[in-house]
């Protein structure tokens, strides 16, 4: 299979088989995919919660009650559940942490290169903080880049998945004390293997034709 075959095969799983579990090796690969996701100026403004136990999944499922109860079974029956969280602020201290990490990883062969990296990153971060005043939205967009990376990666590992935005973020943030840690929950991803009762598995995919979404010039 080539990469487009995986993109065409993956779909949003509506029902999981609770008896099937993802191997530790595949979960480790997904974690590395999330770690190496691209982000604007390598900002990496995310944190992920990984639930592999019944207790952990039940904690996340607290946010899928009431009007969101249609998503509760997906969370509880999945093999593993990921919660993608975004930072709630970005400042000079965080930039310096990024620079120090990149420096330790050998990204800057000279002090001049390091200074240039700091100037460039500070310019774009401050543009969103002060000029555009959309820093939160900008950081959340980076998290969704990570989400896309993980969803396609899951398909290449023959793992079924569904992204879930239908949940109470206030409940989930409180359950994991995310605000105190500088984060807020954005999207949940249930991972596992589909149930034979999953109606969506049997349906064909539907997308706009290439002629509608591409302009060639």
From 95, 94, 123, select the one nearest 182 (Cα to Cα): 94
Q: Which of 57, 72, 74, 87 is catalytic?
A: 74
Q: Which of 14, 57, 87, 140 is catalytic?
A: 14
Decide: 121 and 91 in contact? Cβ < 8 Å.
no
Decide: 50 and 82 in contact? Cβ < 8 Å.
yes
What does each C-alpha distance from 169 to 66, 111, 161, 178, 183 come to in angstroms? Answer: 13, 42, 20, 10, 11
Q: Which of 32, 96, 97, 165 is catalytic?
A: 165
> Is 26 among the catalytic positions?
no
CA pair distance 90, 99, nearest whole angstrom: 14
> Is 74 among the catalytic positions?
yes
> Is 8 among the catalytic positions?
no
Q: By three-state DSSP, how is residue 51 classified? A: strand
Active site residues: 14, 74, 165
């Amino acid at each position: 299979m080539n990469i487009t075959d995986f993109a065409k095969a993956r779909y949003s799983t509506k029902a999981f088989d609770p008896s099937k579990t993802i191997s530790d090796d595949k979960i480790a690969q997904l974690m590395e995919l999330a770690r190496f996701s691209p982000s604007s100026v390598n900002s990496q403004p995310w944190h992920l919660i990984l639930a592999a136990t019944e207790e952990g999944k039940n904690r996340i499922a607290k946010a899928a009650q009431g009007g969101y109860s249609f998503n509760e079974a997906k969370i509880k029956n999945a093999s593993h559940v990921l919660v993608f969280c975004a930072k709630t602020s970005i400042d000079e201290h965080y930039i310096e942490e990024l620079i120090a990490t990149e420096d330790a990883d050998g990204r800057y062969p000279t002090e001049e290169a390091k200074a240039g990296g700091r100037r460039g990153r500070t310019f774009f971060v401050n543009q969103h903080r002060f000029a555009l005043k959309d820093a939160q939205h900008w950081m959340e967009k980076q998290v969704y880049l990570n989400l896309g990376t993980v969803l396609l990666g899951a398909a290449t590992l023959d793992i079924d998945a569904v992204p879930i935005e239908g949940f109470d973020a206030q409940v989930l943030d409180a359950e994991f004390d995310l605000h105190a840690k500088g984060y807020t929950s954005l999207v949940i991803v249930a991972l596992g293997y589909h149930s034979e009762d999953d109606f969506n598995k049997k349906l064909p995919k539907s997308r706009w034709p290439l002629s509608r979404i591409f302009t060639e010039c």
